[in-house]
Each structure stands twice: as C-alpha cells, then as structure tokens.
Amino acid sequence: MSLLVTGGLGFIGSNFILHVLKTTDLEIVNVDAEFFGSSHQNLSEIENSKNYTFVKGDITNRKLMDELISKCDTIINFAAQSHVDRSISDANPFLVSNIRGVFTILDILKEKKKKLIQISTDEVYGTILEGSAKEKDRFNPSSPYSATKASAELLINSYVTTYDLDVIITRCTNNYGQHQFVEKLIPKIIGLCRQDRKIPIYGNGKSIRDWIHVQDHCEAIMTVLEKGKSGESYNISASQEIDNITIAKKILKLLDKQEDRLQFGEERPGEDIRYSLDSTKIRNELGWKPKISFDGGLENTVNWYMSHDDKWWNCIPEKTYSSTPWKKSD
C-alpha cells in the first residue's frame, strides 16, 4: 500500500510518517508547501529512506494533486493552517488551505475513488462546559481556524453523500510531543525558560484542554487506517484534561524554575473555556487506547526540546514568543 501524506513536514504529520516508516513497509509520498511551521529537520532521520519521497507543493494545486493521488492508495490529509492566534490576525490563509485545499482533494476523488482520511480537530465542537463531546454532537466553532475545519467536514459530508466517496474523519484533542513548532503552548513555555524570560499566560490560565501525546495520536490514525469504517468519524482522546496554568507550573518544576516568571495577560479573543472528547467509539469499535501518561510524556517532551542546540531554537521568529500573538501590530 502507498500513502499520500499531505502536510508531512508539520508536527503531527512528520511524527506520523516517522511512526509508519518505523513500524510498516508502506511507501509514503509527502507533499508539503513548506509554509510557516514546516521543517525538513522533523524528518531528517528518514529523508534517504527508499520508502519515502518528498514533493514540494500546495494541496490547492489541482494538477499536482491529481498526479499524486493517481499514484497512491490512500490520502491522509494533515495539511492545514492550524494556529488559532494566526487565524485571528489573518483568516484568509486558513480559508485557502483548510477549505479550498480539502475541496481540491475531494473534487479529484470524484473520479479517482481513493480513500481519504481527514485529520480534523476537537475545536469544531467549541467550548464543552459539561461532559464530553461525542461524534454526533453539533459543531460550535469559536475561532476562524476551527470554523474552517468544521467547514471542511461539512464539505466532506456533502461529497460522501453526493458522490459516494470513501472518507473517514478523525477529531483529536490537543497534541504535544517532539517536533511541535514553538508557537504552541508547551514548546513555547520551554523556549522561554531556556532564555530565562517571562512566560505569558492568556487570561487567568484556567482554560482546560484535553491532552494526548502525538505518538498515541499516530497510533490511533493507523488504527483508523486499518480498521475504520468508511463514512464514519472518530474522536481521539486520552482523557487527560489539564488547565494551562497547571501545565506551565509542571514545566517550570521539571526545569527547576520559579513560578514568579509567570505573567498573566490578556485573554485571547473567542477563547474556549474547555475542550473534552468522548473517545468511546474508537476504543470499543476499533480497539485503540492511549498508552502514554501526561506526566511521563511531558517529561520526555521537555527533555527532547532541552537537548536540541541553539541552532534549532535560533530559527524561531521573535513574534512567536509574544504575549498577544494575534495582534498584527505586536
């Protein structure tokens, strides 16, 4: 079997490619536009693998995608603009990549009839004040980012119904682990600690996220690839809900830093209070379950980032460390 992985130079996509090439004999073609947050460093250890091919390109490029899809068995679409802060300051790239890109793939699949696994997000459900979101719960996205991901899902559902496409959707909670770009919460805190700088916390730091190690997520996607039912969606969660301030304090403790470097600031516009997914379906129907505890995974993640030299960190733009990265003038 051959896989076309889109967005495979990003955080989750690169970890998935590494996982597949280490555990299977599958062939992978990775198409990535090399936008902000993509890095060939993420896949340096397998760049010469006989089962791996890289193609630079945008998933909105109809001609290119037609050629690549013709040669594969399954497409796994990780390609997306994914940072909420950036979507607040400029939503247009998110509409192009997250909606137009998905449309391009779907329109090709009307003729090619290949399998597509769409990597979506728990953010399509919006704030979950009580309980945990199930696959059939209504969407209520709060940010431009999550709205584009929800829109892509609705577009997919229409194509599945109208053109009988073979598509499965996964929605995962917040990922963490190695190779995550530094604009995200956990590596951002680690990076600021390395520089002995203040750590900005949005609002009161009480926003709750449901965390999963990226390796557990990759195994879940492989389970869906092997056992998932066409036309279905699957929530993926390790049921490890933790608020942002607690995570910051855990990282400070691991790095032997004092909590007085925490700096509370503005609340991000449209901030969701709590995310929580019910992953009973994938656990019971497909037999997947997470393996990595949050504390153990966090310690390994901190150690991985701290072991990387200054060359890796020096490529990070200063704005990434801003306390209000959604503001264009900041």
- Letter for the amino acid at 59? I
Q: How many CB atoms lie within 10 A of CB 257?
A: 18
256 is catalytic: no
**Continuous segment of H or E residues that includes residue 199:** strand 199-201
Per the residue annotation, which of 52, 125, 145, 202 is the catalytic one?
Answer: 145
Q: What SS3 class is residue 254?
A: helix
| Spatial CB neighbours of 235, under 8 Å, sequence gap ≥ 6 | 122, 133, 134, 135, 170, 171, 172, 277, 278, 279, 281, 282
In 113-206, alpha helices (H): 144-163, 185-194
Distance CA 57, CA 79 (A): 11
Given 123, 153, 210, 272, the catalytic residue? 123
Give 133's DSSP letter: B
Longest dimension (CA), the chain: 59
CA dihedral 158, 160, 161, 164 (to 10 degrees): 150
Non-local (6+) Cβ contacts of 221 within 8 A are 16, 76, 117, 119, 170, 236
Nearest to 212 by CA among 122, 125, 124, 126: 122
Per DSSP, the three-state class of 30 is strand
- Choosing from 27, 32, 85, 122, the catalytic residue is 122
What does the alpha-carbon distance between residue 224 and residue 221 come to, in Å, rounded to a whole number? 5
Residue 122 falls in the annotated catalytic set: yes
Q: Is 90 helix (H, G, I), strand (E, B) or coil?
A: coil
Work out whether strand 262-264 and strand 166-172 pair parallel, antiparallel, or are unpaired: unpaired
Residue tagged 């460390």 (tokens): 321
145 catalytic? Reply is yes
- Catalytic residue set: 122-123, 145
